[in-house]
Amino acid sequence: MNNDIALTESTYYILLSLFEPQHGYGIMQRTEQLSGGRVKLAAGTLYGALSSMSERGWIRPLPGESGSRKKEYCLTKEGLLALKNEVDRLKELVENGEKVLGGENDG
Amino acid sequence: MAERKTVRKWFWVWEFDKEERWLNQMALSGWALVEVGFCRYVFDACEPGAYIIRLQMCPRDENYLSFLEETGAEYIGRVTRWIYVRRDAALGDFALFSDNASRLEHLGWIARMLLVIGVMNLVIGVVNSFNGTNLGSINLICATLLMYALGRIHGKMESLEKDRELEE
């Protein structure tokens, strides 16, 4: 897999929200909660992202309970790897930023 | 029963954001969209600002509609490939797209649809003109309009792409 890709903020938070299985609305709520209310996923954006991420094999729908129309999704091994790679990449960004700016950001 | 009124109004396809703004203006002044048809909008009286209305071009997809309902949105209706949805404004801000990647994808769908219908009209128009049928010119006018619409959509896409060069 390509390790050089940068995830979009939506993709990142969707993967993070799916660390435990969630249905669509659950992902929206989890994302908002994780980001302290900053990132609000809109339904159309999330729906499109879920289908692209399923195609890519990063997430998969769980077998639905009978009578329930809500689809639950979970991370796959590839999805977890993509998430971990992204966390490493973000760490590098932050470390470099802090190194260059030094203590300037503290004040 | 709530007071009801029907308004007939025309919007060009590249004016979908203007159409959306108008529908939200109506909601702000106490008229909530309850039904849509071709150039036809039916409103019921509501508390001013009770709803936020959004429209989107998308293929028929029951799963998407139930997904939207899961998030508290209400499906109002469909005209050709456009769906109209609304949500109680008390539930907070309501949008269908929250990043530029998905806004661009949406514009891309609209552009593809315009291109397909535009080329179809062009072909039919040319064939009919060669056959000496008067109808050919109608198709050619349609094709020209659709290509103009395509240009407008591409303009919107370009400005989003420009933002994306520097930001997500």
Q: How confident is the model at residue B75 (pLDDT cuts 50, 70, 90)?
A: very high
The pLDDT of residue B13 is: 85
Span B26-71, pLDDT tens digits: 999 999 999 999 999 999 999 999 999 999 999 889 999 999 999 9
* Interchain CB distance below 8 Å, A42 and B97: yes
Which residues face B7 on adjacent strands?
A: B41
User: Does the pTM exceed 0.90?
Assistant: no
Span B90-99, pLDDT tens digits: 999 999 999 9
CB B31 within 8 A of CB B41: no
Q: Which residue ranges form the domains of chain A, and what is each CATH number?
A: 9-105 (1.10.10.10)
Chain B contact for A49 (CB, 8 A cutoff): yes
| Rounded Cα gap, residues A48 and B130, in angstroms | 44
Pick from A14, A30, A40, A45 the residue to mutate for testing the B interface (most B CBs within 10 Å): A45
Chain A contact for B87 (CB, 8 A cutoff): no
- DSSP per-residue letters across B94-139: --S--SHHHHHHHHHHHHHHHHHHHHHHHHHHHHHHHTT-THHHHH
What share of chain B has pLDDT > 90, as a percent? 77
**Mean pLDDT computed over A82-98:** 96
Asked if the model's pLDDT at residue B102 lies above 90, the reply is yes
**Mean pLDDT computed over A22-43:** 95
Q: In chain A, which residues have their Cβ closer than 8 Å to the Cβ of B98?
A: 10, 39-42, 45
Q: Nearest Cβ partner of A45 from B58, B73, B98? A: B98
The pLDDT of residue A102 is: 84
Which residues face A72 on adjacent strands?
A: A23
Chain B contact for A26 (CB, 8 A cutoff): no
User: At which residue do the structure tokens 């050709």 appear?
Assistant: B80
Asked if the model's pLDDT at residue A1 lies above 70, the reply is no
* Interchain CB distance below 8 Å, B70 and A41: no
Chain A contact for B137 (CB, 8 A cutoff): no
Q: Where are the domains of chain B?
A: 4-91, 100-166
3-state helix, strand, coil in chain A (%, to 5): 60, 10, 35
| Rounded Cα gap, residues B14 and B102, in angstroms | 18
Q: How confident is the model at residue B137 (pLDDT cuts 50, 70, 90)?
A: confident
* Interchain CB distance below 8 Å, A24 and B102: no
Span A47-79, pLDDT tens digits: 999 999 999 999 999 987 655 668 899 999 999
Asked if the model's pLDDT at residue A106 lies above 70, the reply is no
* Interchain CB distance below 8 Å, B99 and A10: yes
* Interchain CB distance below 8 Å, A8 and B64: no
